[in-house]
Amino acid sequence: AADDGFRPLDVEAVVEYIKDTPALLALLGEQLEGLSVKEVGDGNLNFVYIVSGPGGSFVLKQALPYVRSVGISWPMSKERTYFEMLALKEHGRLCPYHVPEVYHFDRPMSLIAMRYLQPPHIILRKGLIAGIEYPLLAQHMSDFMARTLFFTSLLYHSTLEHRKAVAEFCGNELCRLTEQVVFSDPYKVAQYNRWTSPYLDHDAEAIREDDTLKIEVAGLKSMFCERAQAMIHGDLHTGSVMVTNDSTQVIDSEFAFYGPMGYDIGAFLGNLILAFFSQDGHANKDDDREAYKRWILKTIEETWDLFHQKFVSLWNENIDGHGEAYLADIYNKPELQLLAQKKYMIDLFHDSIGFGAAKMIRRIVGVAHVEDFESIADTSRRAFCERDALNCAKTLLKERCKLETIGQVISVIEETS
């Protein structure tokens, strides 16, 4: 091990690590015989091992001090695992049905052990590519977002406890990665940017020359950096959600910090919109994917509507609590309370659409792309899907403050497809 106690693991070293760690041995019922260890990491950043034996199972996730998908040329703090552990525990406390338990954390090793989400759980993005409907997805994700965002905001916290919580997450350096790859690189010539060339060469250039878009993105970047509204997941795309027909589990919260709520809501909705635009690339003679596209749109609509409903209900249930954003003796009449909530929710709606659109753009012309499009082998067909998504995102980003309902967002999606 290095001086700081860190040692990168591989499959063999995982077994040695387990032997030296009583808490992990206990999870396996003290049985090492018949143990299987598989590295399954398919994300951009980390290494993930599924450990399973006759007496039990768990997942081990380790951060190495660089971005996995790029390599050691892009160093990245391995302290990210500490923030992932904090957020997993907080999310688990607030929303236990939708978050895997943390079993073990080793800070020097940048390592978390958590519950293994067994098959048939799959990554939601893969389910969306396969055209699978998840009837409870909107219900579950609106629950997760309403509870984790409400209970970590000033609608529930006193200002003192809020500031303490904000301070705890201030050191998460992954925020700088987001600032670069979401809010900066797509709008300039940058080393790791890529797109489906040559088809989208002009589209990428148009983004770099769109002054209106750049002004809007500057506003979002400021909000991301300055607004400690709630503890956000920070990377809530469809690759951070594992699903079955009746279970929805949120993983991979290493980007968590106190930021704008709309960043999470936008990440989820924006990635559903990307899934929508990728469907034509997955259509074949047996399935035109039209019914599935309608299901995605319905899920977008229901997710926002249910989120809105649940968030406002939590607000009403906690109106006389210790939350200090709207003191009960100032906002002391039902009509004023209603007005305050209306303003808060419409601002949040506009933030969510803006962040969602920015996250769509970065997945098409930035460094990290999404499997929804990457898995469309015919590059010209892929580019057609991506161009529609890009145009939709640009309209949403520029026009969002004119939109008042999620139904109007759906209309923009339909008009640009």
Q: Which one of 34-42, 146-154, 282-290, 368-376 is the stretch in contact with ligand ADP (CB under 6 A)?
A: 34-42
Edge-to-edge strand order for the sheet containing 36-39?
A: 36-39, 47-53, 56-62, 111-114, 102-106
Burial class (CB in 10 A: 0-12, 13-18, 19+), 305: middle
When the beta carbons of 123 and 306 are compared against Mg ion, the nearer one is 123
Q: How would you classify the pairing of strands 56-62 and 66-67?
A: unpaired
When the beta carbons of 38 and 214 are compared against ligand ADP, the nearer one is 38
| By CB under 6 A, residue 243 contacts ligand ADP | no
Phi (first) and psi of residue 298, to 5 degrees? -65, -40
Q: How many residues in total does the chain contain?
A: 417
CB of 84 to Mg ion, least distance (A): 8
Total residues in contact with ligand ADP, by rule CB under 6 A: 21
CA 137 distance to own-chain centroid: 15
Mark residues 217-256: x for contact with ligand SR1 by CB under 6 A, - for none: ------------------x---------------------
Mark residues 160-179: x for contact with ligand SR1 by CB under 6 A, - for none: -----------------xx-
| By CB under 6 A, residue 46 contacts ligand ADP | yes
Beta carbons within 8 Å of 173's beta carbon, 6+ residues apart: 76, 77, 79, 80
Q: Which one of 188-196, 209-217, 325-333, 387-395 is the stretch in contact with Mg ion (CB under 5 A)?
A: 387-395
Q: Which residue do the tokens 């989208």 mark? A: 200
CB of 267 to ligand SR1, least distance (A): 8
Mark residues 38-57: x for contact with Mg ion by CB under 5 A, - for none: -----x-x------------
Pick from ligand SR1, Mg ion, ligand ADP, none: which does 181 bind, CB < 5 to 8 A by kind?
ligand SR1
Furthest C-alpha separation in the chain: 66
| By CB under 6 A, residue 367 contacts ligand SR1 | yes
Which residue in the set 9, 14, 24, 48 belongs to the binding site for ligand ADP (CB under 6 A)? Answer: 48
- In one letter, which amino acid is 300? I
Which neighbouring-strand residues pair with 52? 36, 57
| By CB under 6 A, residue 184 contacts ligand SR1 | no
Q: Which residue do the tokens 């790859």 mark? A: 181
Residues from 109 through 128 that contact ligand ADP (CB under 6 A):
114-117, 123
Mark residues 235-254: x for contact with Mg ion by CB under 5 A, - for none: -----------------x-x
Contact present, 131 and 289 (Cβ < 8 Å): yes
Show the CA angle centred on residue 271, arms to residues 95 and 134, nearest 5°. 60
User: How far apart are alpha carbons 139 and 307 in whole angstroms?
Assistant: 8
Burial class (CB in 10 A: 0-12, 13-18, 19+), 87: buried
Q: Which residue do the tokens 């309209």 mark? A: 395
Pick from ligand SR1, Mg ion, ligand ADP, none: which does 114 bind, CB < 5 to 8 A by kind?
ligand ADP
| By CB under 6 A, residue 84 contacts ligand SR1 | no
When the beta carbons of 109 and 177 are compared against ligand SR1, the nearer one is 177
Summarize as ranges the residues that interact with ligand SR1 (CB under 6 A).
43-45, 67, 177-178, 181, 235, 367-368
Contacts to ligand ADP by CB under 6 A:
40-46, 48, 59, 61, 100, 114-117, 123, 239-240, 251-252, 254
